[in-house]
Amino acid sequence: MSRGRMDDWLRALLVVRPTDGSIPDGLRITAHGSRCLICRGSRMLCGKTTCPVALRFSSLVNVGALGIDTKMEGNSPPEVFIGRFGYPKVLIGPMVPPMMEDTSLLAAPQLWFGKSIDEIVKMRSQLVRGKYLVDITSPSSGLDRISEMVQELGLSSSPTDSELEFLRRPVSTITLSDHFEPFGPSAPLRSFNLGNLKMARPFERAFYDVDLKARDAVINSYEVGMDVSSIQRALSVGAFGLGKRRKFVPTRWSITAVDSIISQRLMEGVRRNPLINEHLVYECDNLDNRYVVLMTPQRWCYEWIEAWWPKTAWNPDPMISIMGDHEGFEGRTIYASIGGCYYAVRLAVAEKLSAMGRQAGVVALREAYPGYIVPVGVWINRESVRMALSREPRRFDSLSEALKHISSRMQIPLGRWIGTSALLRDALCQRRLREFLRERAS
């Protein structure tokens, strides 16, 4: 480690105390992410049968009765939901609001940036979920009528007239998750019918090509301009893949799978691109979250770190909770410890570098403040970072200058970010070969 090349102020940051003047009085930062942040209601690490944090969400959201009986008509955006509990036997079904106007916005998270949490929850709580139990291998072994209708709806390119009959009246609740978008009441399906629908041409080709692998179908659809949310929906209804191996994919898994597949494909090209020649810092705020993305002139590497204030969606603890994960030039082979948000942000970053025709090391940071009281899905990270990267960046000649700017924009002390970040520690503490050769030459 070459200490002499590091500014005094940066050296001091490496031993900074957990809190300083930039953190509100009385708050401390945990050394690692809290158990709730790691779990996010999906692994039940606390041992309880029901997530207590998720129960708190429901108490914060008022969902009025939609006046739905056992029969309902509406215009699906289109939207479907494939559950994961009980896998390989899971609940599938359409999501339909009791209205006949244009509902496409309800299933287009790429258009939600700038909307408030109240607007998003109110909008999505109108979606009524029908539930129908199937084996996940149904698409490869033959579909009954309800399963066939759900699959067709998942491939529709526009809102579709839908008729649902339930076994009982839908329960007036709302489901909130950090993995998928909110939705409203649900009930078991007795029957389900669709009006005329139009299938997007790329999905139609992939659906009828039973020799096309699911990964290739996802990439082909993305490369011809299909939006990520519609690709995720098509994958989840078992429309992609080799004919005998097709299956329903739980919605939360399909979201992460698509983000991962597309970003991996983009990274293949990014790794061959020349390096950027300066340090870039991008930024945006959304739903009381601050996002900052640092790009440095080095070979592809990537890191995503989140810091959650107390009383935010996934931090019931009295301390700020911070955690992250990273990968080097070759990528990663195991699932990121921080969950699907890692892959959502990686997709946004890979898209930007691909469009730039450049390669870089990337550290993306998020501070979630107390106003972010309920989770609205992983889309918030993908779309917020996309928005940040669409703006003009701040440009710096050195990493020290870029970090000074970042320290002025984040509430958590920079030393804590550095202490959590494997890539920043490496950039600051490891002497590069080119620097050694430069010194020898001089």
pLDDT in tens, 160-198: 999 999 999 987 777 777 788 888 889 999 999 999 999
- 218 shares a domain with 116: yes
Q: pLDDT at residue 25 above 60? A: no
- 283 shares a domain with 254: no
Q: What percent of the chain lies above the pLDDT cut of 90?
A: 69
Encode pLDDT of 135-167 as tens digits.
Answer: 999 999 899 999 999 999 999 999 999 999 999
Name which of 52-66, 179-193, 327-341, 360-374 the model is least confident about.
52-66
In the listed set 261, 284, 304, which residue is the last one of a domain according to the structure? 261
pLDDT bracket for residue 12 (50, 70, 90):
low
Average pLDDT, stretch 266-294?
98
pLDDT bracket for residue 324 (50, 70, 90):
very high
DSSP state of 3: G
- 255 shares a domain with 277: no
In a domain, 127, yes or no: yes
In a domain, 367, yes or no: yes
pLDDT for 17: 40
- 331 shares a domain with 184: no
- 348 shares a domain with 276: yes
Average pLDDT, stretch 120-137?
93
In the listed set 206, 238, 261, which residue is the last one of a domain according to the structure? 261
How many structural domains are present in the chain?
2
Average pLDDT, stretch 310-329?
87
pLDDT for 2: 41
Name which of 21-25, 179-183, 199-203, 282-286 the model is least confident about.
21-25
The neighbouring-strand residues paired with 283 are 292
For residues 422 and 295, what is the distance between their CA atoms, to the nearest angstrom?
Answer: 15
- 316 shares a domain with 236: no
- 422 shares a domain with 298: yes
Please say whether the beta carbons of 373 and 60 come within 8 A: yes
In a domain, 312, yes or no: yes
Helices 201-208 and 228-236, packing angle to 10 deg: 30
In a domain, 63, yes or no: no
- 254 shares a domain with 296: no
Helix (H, G, I), strand (E, B) or coil at 328: strand
Q: Which residues contact 423 (CB under 8 A, 6 or more apart)?
A: 301, 302, 303, 326, 361, 363
pLDDT for 373: 84
In the listed set 241, 261, 281, which residue is the last one of a domain according to the structure? 261
SS3 letters across 268-311? HHHCCCCECCCEEEEEEEECCEEEEEEEECCCCEEEEEEEECCC
Q: pLDDT at residue 50 above 80? A: no
pLDDT bracket for residue 69 (50, 70, 90):
confident
Q: pLDDT at residue 239 above 70? A: yes
Helix (H, G, I), strand (E, B) or coil at 138: helix
Full residue range of the structural domain in which residue 323 is found? 3-37+271-431
Q: pLDDT at residue 32 above 90? A: no
> Look-up: residue for tokens 């979250």?
289
- 181 shares a domain with 326: no
Average pLDDT, stretch 199-208?
95
pLDDT for 20: 43
- 243 shares a domain with 210: yes
For residues 75 and 77, what is the distance between their CA atoms, to the nearest angstrom?
Answer: 6
DSSP state of 21: T
For residues 294 and 297, what is the distance between their CA atoms, to the nearest angstrom?
Answer: 10
pLDDT for 56: 63
pLDDT bracket for residue 13 (50, 70, 90):
low
Q: pLDDT at residue 377 above 50? A: yes
pLDDT bracket for residue 43 (50, 70, 90):
low
Of residues 210 and 436, more confidence is placed in: 210
- 386 shares a domain with 340: yes
The token duo for 380 is 């918030």
Of residues 36 and 347, more confidence is placed in: 347
- 257 shares a domain with 276: no
pLDDT for 21: 42
Q: pLDDT at residue 328 above 90? A: yes
pLDDT for 158: 94
pLDDT for 311: 80
In a domain, 90, yes or no: yes
In a domain, 117, yes or no: yes
pLDDT for 10: 57
Q: pLDDT at residue 442 above 60? A: no
Q: pLDDT at residue 236 above 80? A: yes
In a domain, 438, yes or no: no
Q: What percent of the chain lies above the pLDDT cut of 70?
A: 84
| Mean pLDDT, rounded, of the chain | 88
In a domain, 50, yes or no: no
